[in-house]
Amino acid sequence: MSPQQACLYVFNEFAIAKGVGKKTLAVLLKYLYPQKILRVKTCKSGKPFIVDEDGCASHLYVSISHSNSTLVILLANIECGVDIEFMRYPEKMLSVYAWVTHPEDRVENLTAKEFLRSWTLKEAWLKLKSFGLEFGLDNIRVEGLNRFYEQQAIEINKELLHAQFFSVAHSDQTCVLSEEPLTLRKIAMTVDTQTGLAMPKLSDKESEP
């Protein structure tokens, strides 16, 4: 099976506020597809989706996440989910892990990396499946999560999915999850606050893992 294509657009040092993800996505779509009229809509779960000028669903699938001052927007030709997290309260790691993890899935001698991988994987799964947090992170059963491999097939709630783990800022953990393998490009972006235009950062090159 040939990998599907996806791009992860990374906005660092970004002023995060309510609704900024969808607003930035709209700006990004204007940059990527200047000849098309694409609009951002939201389903009942809060997941964004893209429609054309006639209101028909486009061929693009999208997932958005932000943490601290970093915003990531994933565009792909298949359903996908992305999540980014930073370790903001290390003193609460063990208690939060127990709260969001089924007792049979918990590991001993938990590390920060394992915690963030588990957290971002579950959040990405919720977005992939268009579920909200009310589903319960502890109801997401995970088998085969490896703390060393950056790309791996993982069984989540009895379904085999494909995960990629990496960092896009300093000390973050980002996870991209999909039903099929993805060839992922990561592109650093910026938004001109004066014009509202999105563009690649001139000092950064597109990179492939």
To the nearest whole percent, how much of the chain has pLDDT over 70?
Answer: 93
Tokens of 115: 């915690």
**Whether the predicted pLDDT of 121 surpasses 80:** yes
Q: Is the pLDDT of residue 162 over 90?
A: yes
Q: What is the DSSP string of 99-111?
A: HHS-GGG--SS--
61, β-bridge pairs: 76
User: Between 198 and 9, where is the model more confident?
Assistant: 9
Res 132 pLDDT > 50: yes
Given pLDDT bands bounded at 50, 70 and 90, which one contains residue 126? Answer: very high
- Does this model's pTM top 0.75? yes
Q: Render pLDDT for 3-25 as a digit per residue (tens, 0 to 9).
A: 689 999 999 887 777 778 998 99
Encoding tokens for residue 25?
């996505």
Look at the chain and count its residues. Answer: 209
pLDDT at 93 over 80: yes
